Structure 1
């Protein structure tokens, strides 16, 4: 299955989970230690906007990556941003375009297919983050999780992952009998047992 379709499915899963968020939950903790649930949703929303801009050739503009206040209806704002990024990735030529992603590098651009892979991995993980923060069960499609595993394995591990602004925490050891989702979470520094 092509990465654009996998990403679309990951984003759809995230929209469903975010739709369960009530305003009272926004101040609660998440597996992203430095972020409340509101912070996480604001991050997820702006990342959709930034990646959509990158797909359309405007990712180098730092303003498209600036986190904005959630506003009166963060669920609707998130859904609109998700719809925008899915549409941007579906535009002809997106997979072969060059994406400027300043959060990854200001020196190079990334082939669209690879950039969309970054996005896909992020939204598989953040869907789990939101579901965990809400305490709701999550049943991600196994093929989506399996497709995200090599993306997570390709993310370099090392001291940079311990920095406050790192996208993922240092890798954790997965149990020998770990599920694919648990292995994926360990690769990006998440404990499957987080509550």
Structure 2
């Protein structure tokens, strides 16, 4: 599978998780520094639209990457933004021009495949954040690890040079499966769970 096909698959798996979110769950905490689920979903939709705009030539304007309200239909907002991103990346792929992401390397140009790989990683890790908030991350992990090319692409995008990971590497980054290793490399606690209420 090509990287774009793997990216599309990551969006499908993430959408399947987001499809299960109920409006009353938007207030749940997530593994993202205590941010609520609504914030996380708005962040994901904003990243889709930001990268779609960048792939269409808009440049690394941070305003294009802001969170977008999902209102009462997070699944619809996610799927709409994912479709726009898929179309934009497919249109940009033949040229494979470098892309500038405002939150990576200070907006410096990144090779097209590197930018797509980072988006694949963010899609799946944030899908895990959503699934963890809902109490069901194991199904997503099994789905990704059941597709070795996808799991390899995820881990490759997480294995960044020292000092470049967005959070401190957690213990166990070398011991578990590729998804758990990715989470550890990015500072996620794979045992994260909402406190009992």
Q: TM-score, normalised by structure 1?
A: 0.87
Aligned partner of 1:4 in structure 2 is 4
Alignment partners' CA distance in 1, 2:124 and 2:12:
10
Partner of 2:160: 154
> Which runs of at least 4 in structure 1 moved beyond 6 Å after TM superposition?
none
Matched positions, count: 187
Gaps of 5+ in 1: 162-167
2:4 counterpart SS class: helix
Counterparts of 1:178 and 1:72 in 2: how far apart (Å)?
37
1:77 matched residue in structure 2: 77
Is the alpha carbon distance of 1:128 and 1:155 closer, same or farther for their aligned partners in structure 2, counting shifts above 3 Å?
Answer: farther
Shift of 1:47: 0.1
Gap regions ≥5 residues in structure 2:
none
Closer, same or farther: CA 35–152 of 1 in aligned 2, 3 Å: same
Q: 1:52 to 1:107 in 2, by over 3 A?
A: closer
**How far is the alpha carbon of 1:61 from its aligned partner?**
3.1
Map of 1:188 onto structure 2: 186
Partner of 1:128: 128
Q: 2:177 aligns with which of 167, 170, 179?
A: 179
Alignment of 1:81-160 (within 5 A): 81-93=81-93, 96-106=96-106, 108-136=108-136, 137-138=139-140, 139-142=142-145, 143=148, 144-154=150-160, 156-157=162-163
**How large is the Cα RMSD of the aligned pairs?**
2.0
Q: Secondary structure at the match of 1:141?
A: helix
Q: Deviations 1:123-158 (Å, cap 9, x if unpaired)?
A: 111111111111123223322222211211125436
The TM-score normalised by the length of structure 2 is: 0.86
Asked if structure 2 preserves the Cα contact closer than 8 Å seen for 1:171 and 1:187, the reply is yes
